[in-house]
Structure 1
Amino acid sequence: MTGRTHLIVSTGITLSVLSLWGQPVTLPAAAAAVIGSLLPDIDEPNSLLLQKTLPKKLIHIVKILLALLGLGLIVYARLTAFYPPYSYMAGGLMIAACLVNHRLFRQLLMILLGGVLLYAAVTFEAGPWWATIGALLMVCAVLPHRGLTHTIYGAAIWGGLLYFASLMLSVPLWLAGGLSYTLHLLCDVLTKQGIQPFPPFSWKWKIPLMSTGKFSGFLVESICITITFVLMWNAFVKPMGVSAFVILQQLKDRMTGM
C-alpha cells in the first residue's frame, strides 16, 4: 500500500474506533495515530514519513552545507596544518557523502541523528527517551524494508513506548498509536509480500490480494478507503446530525409552547 493510503486508513479507522468506544479523540491522540500509521515504513528511506520530515529540498541544502564544510575543513587544514591527514580524510568523507543518492543520504542522516540523540542522552542525562529514539533511528536506518518495524516485536516496542509516555504525560496515547500501527501491519498483510510477524521464524502473514502500483492495488486501496470513510461517517458525522436534530426539535418545542 502507498503511504497516503496507510495514513488515511490507519488514522481514520483508529480515530473512528476511539470515538465509537467512547474514548476522547484529542489532538495528542490524533498525532499518535498519524505517526503510528506511517512509522512501520521508517525502515524505507523513501517512505512518506521520511519524505515529509526530510524532504528533497532539505536534503539538497544539507548536502550543500556539508560539502562546503568539508571543503572548508580541507582548506583550513592546508593553511594551518590542523591535523592534515585526518582533516583531509574527514573533509573528503563529507564531500563524498554529498555525492550519494537521496535514499542513501537519508539513511546516513538517520544514523547521524540517532548518534547525536544517544550522545545527548548519555552526556547530558537527557533521559531514556532520547536514547531509545536514537537507537531506534540507527537500527531502522540499516534494516531491510519490512524488517523489525513490520513485526509484532516492532508493534510491541512502539506500544510500550507510548504506554510509558502516557503514564508520564497523563495523556492516553498508547491506544491510538498502537492501534494505528497495528492497522498498518494488517493492511500490509493484504499485499503479495505480506509480513513476517515473528522473525526469525520464516512463516508469513499474507493474503495476496494486491500489488502496489497495479490495478489490484488501486482496487483494494479504494475499498479500504471507502470502509474508512463509512466508519468515520458513523463515528463523527452521523452523531453531529443527531445532535443537530435534537437541538432543532427542542427549539421547535419551545416555539410551539410560546
Structure 2
Amino acid sequence: MTGKTHLIVSTGVTLSVMQFMGQGITLASAAIAVISSLLPDIDEPNSLLMQKTMPKKLLNFIKLFFAAAGIGFIAYCYLQSFYTPYSYGAGALLIIMCLVNQRLFRQILMILLGGLLLYVGAEAGPWWGTAGALIMVCALLPHRGLTHSLYGVVMWGGLLYYASIRLGVTLWIAGTLSYTLHLLCDMLTKQGIHPLPPLKWKLAVPLMSTGKFSGFLVESVCITLAFVMLWNAFVVPMGLVTYSWWEQVKAVWSSV
C-alpha cells in the first residue's frame, strides 16, 4: 500500500478504536498514531516517512554542505600538509557522497544519525543508544524485514510502554495498534510480510498490487471503512450530544 493509505487507514482506525474503548485521545497519542502508521517503512529510504523527515530540499542542502566540507578539508590538508596524500581520500569521500542518488544518500544519513545516537547513548542513557542501533540496522536491512515483523511490533510497543510509564501518558496503545494495522494492510499485498524472520513463513492475502487497479480498489475500500469508523466514533456522538442540548433548550423555552 502507499504511504498515504497507511497514514489514513492506520491512524483513522486506531483513533476510532480508542474512542470506542473509552480511551482518552490526546494530542500526544494522536501524534504517536500518525508516526506509528508510517514507522514500519523506515527500512525503505524512499517511503513517505523518510521523504517527510528528509525532504529533497534538506538533502540537497546537506549535500552542498558535505561538498563544501570536502573541498575545504582537502584545501586545509594541502596547505597544512595534514597527513597528505591520505587525508585527501577523506575529503574526496565527502564529495563523492554528494553524487549518489537520493535513496542511497538517505541510507547514509540514517547510518550517520544512528552512529551519533550511539555516541550520545554512552552518556545520555541506553535508550538513545538502542534507538541509534535500530536506525542503523533499519538502514541496512531489506524492505519488509525486521520492521515488518512481530519483533518490530514488540520492540516499538515495549519502547512506548516504557515511555508511557515514565511520562504518565498512555501512548503504547495508540502506537502498537497503529503499527500493527500497517502490517495487516501490507498482508493484503502479494508480497505479504514475514512475521518471524529468518523463518520463511509468510502471511499474505494477495488481493492487490500497489500501483495497479487492484491496489486502487482495495485501498479505496480500506480508506472508506476507516472514514466510516471515524464518522461513527466522533461525528455521530457529537450529533447526539448536540441534539440532546437542543432538546433541553426547547424544553426550557417551552416552560417559560
Partner of 2:16: 16
Whichever residue aligns with residue 105 of structure 1, its letter is F
Partner of 1:172: 170
Q: Distance in 2 between matches of 1:62 and 1:13?
A: 37
TM-score (norm 1): 0.98
* Structure-to-structure mapping, 1:1-258, within 5 angstroms: 1-122=1-122, 125-258=123-256
1:14 is displaced (CA, Å) by 0.1
Q: Which moved more, 1:63-72 or 1:83-92?
A: 83-92
Q: Distance in 2 between matches of 1:40 and 1:86?
A: 40
Q: Distance in 2 between matches of 1:192 and 1:53?
A: 28
Q: Distance in 1 between matches of 2:156 and 2:14?
A: 16
Equivalences, count: 256
1:28 is displaced (CA, Å) by 0.6
Q: Deviations over 1:108-152 (max 9, x none)?
A: 000000000110111xx2122211111111000000000000000
Q: Distance in 1 between matches of 2:190 and 2:121?
A: 41
1:102 is displaced (CA, Å) by 0.3
Q: Distance in 1 between matches of 2:108 and 2:43?
A: 12
Specify every segment of 5 or more residues in structure 1 that has no aligned partner in the other structure, as ranges.
none
TM-score (norm 2): 0.99
* SS of alignment partner, residue 209 of structure 1: coil
* SS of alignment partner, residue 203 of structure 2: coil
Q: Deviations over 1:216-242 (max 9, x none)?
A: 000000000000000000000000000
Specify every segment of 5 or more residues in structure 2 that has no aligned partner in the other structure, as ranges.
none
Moved over 4 A (4+): none
1:89 is displaced (CA, Å) by 1.2
State the identity %.
66
Whichever residue aligns with residue 30 of structure 1, its letter is A
